Amino acid sequence: MKMVAKGSRKLPLKWKVFALTTLCAGFLTLAVVELFVLAEATKADTPGLDYIIILGAKVQSDGPSLTLRRRLDRAVAYHQESPDAVFVLSGGKGDDEPMAEAEAMFLYLVGKGVPPGQLLMETRSTNTTQNITYSKTVIEADVARRRADRQAEKPMVAPGPYMVAEEKPMLIGVLTSNYHLFRATRIAQKQGLPEVGHVASTTDGWLLPGFCLREGLAVLKDKFWGHM
């Protein structure tokens, strides 16, 4: 009589089918997410934005990392296209960084000729969700301040049968690496910016597949936690 070692029983067929189905569903879901990530990465930039949130990235001992420099160089180019745009520099200081990402961005952009008066800093955030949340607060405060300044400068107008045109809505966008656009804009929509625009910096082609794979997993994580 053939003896069966303890613990050597085969997994029931139904559990094998369940595991295989779950694995296939996971791969299919990730593949669909990757398509959305790539589609967003190839979209044209939004012109004429009033406020642009630049998402931070690693700051090294000698200054912004390559990823961050590319985002900042795209901001410089956008400033030349839309000189009135205000940039919100978003990023706190990590344990291994010499300064807050927002501070490093400020120094870099001023050095490239962007006026300091068009740069706002947000130095508390440590992830994309916080980038958007805190930057939105900074923008709201700046809009309120500018509105108050205009009201103070506006001359008194006698009552009469005329209509006062409403102010145009602020156009707000997110500037980040192209592979990061899908997640960043969806988080912004979740934070109450339904018409958020986007501006993308480039990524080396040979690095893009790895970044997109990592980004797809991050999208699933943020979706699970309700961030987007």
13-33 pLDDT, tens digit per residue, is 777 666 777 777 777 887 888
Quick count: other Cβ atoms within 10 Å of Cβ 104? 26
pTM of the model: 0.84
Assess if residue 58 is contained within a domain: yes
As beta bridge partners, residue 122 has 90
- Residue 107 belongs to what domain range? 34-151+169-224
Q: How far is CA 26 from the centre of its chain?
A: 25
Assess if residue 188 is contained within a domain: yes
Do 188 and 164 form a contact (C-beta atoms < 8 A)?
A: no
Q: Tell me: the pLDDT tens digits for 33-85?
A: 899 898 899 899 999 999 999 999 999 999 999 999 999 999 999 999 999 99
Count of structural domains, the chain: 1
Amino acid (1-letter code) at residue 127: N
Assess if residue 118 is contained within a domain: yes
